[in-house]
């Protein structure tokens, strides 16, 4: 978690994803700092068994001298047709 100093500075959040095709499953609420994951069109994004997507979230504050920090995580989309416990 990014903590602004001083604490009253506004923090702006953004994200990036390495494999942009995975962006189709993401909804990012920057105000609530939450991701939602949903994709029901087809199985292309999960591959034959699973596909990993690297996501980076950056918090930036300070209008004069911006300060920022980034955290990363891996989103794994698993093919539910291979194993029903993937769902």
> What is the Cα–Cα distance from 16 to 8, expressed in whole angstroms?
26
Contact 39, 25 (CB under 8 A): yes
Contact 50, 70 (CB under 8 A): no
Reading the block at residue 36, the tokens are: 């939602």
Residue ranges per domain, the chain?
Answer: 11-81
pLDDT in tens, 9-68: 788 888 888 888 888 888 888 888 888 888 788 888 888 888 899 999 998 887 777 788
Contact 26, 37 (CB under 8 A): yes
pTM score, whole prediction: 0.72
């Amino acid at each position: 978690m990014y903590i602004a100093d001083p604490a009253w500075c506004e923090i702006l959040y953004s994200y990036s994803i390495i494999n942009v095709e995975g962006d189709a499953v993401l909804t990012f609420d920057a105000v609530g700092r939450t991701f939602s994951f949903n994709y029901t069109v087809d199985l292309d994004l999960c591959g034959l068994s699973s596909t990993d997507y690297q996501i980076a979230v950056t918090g930036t504050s300070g209008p004069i001298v911006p300060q920022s920090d980034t955290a990363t995580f891996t989103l794994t989309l698993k093919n539910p047709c291979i194993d029903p416990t993937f769902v």
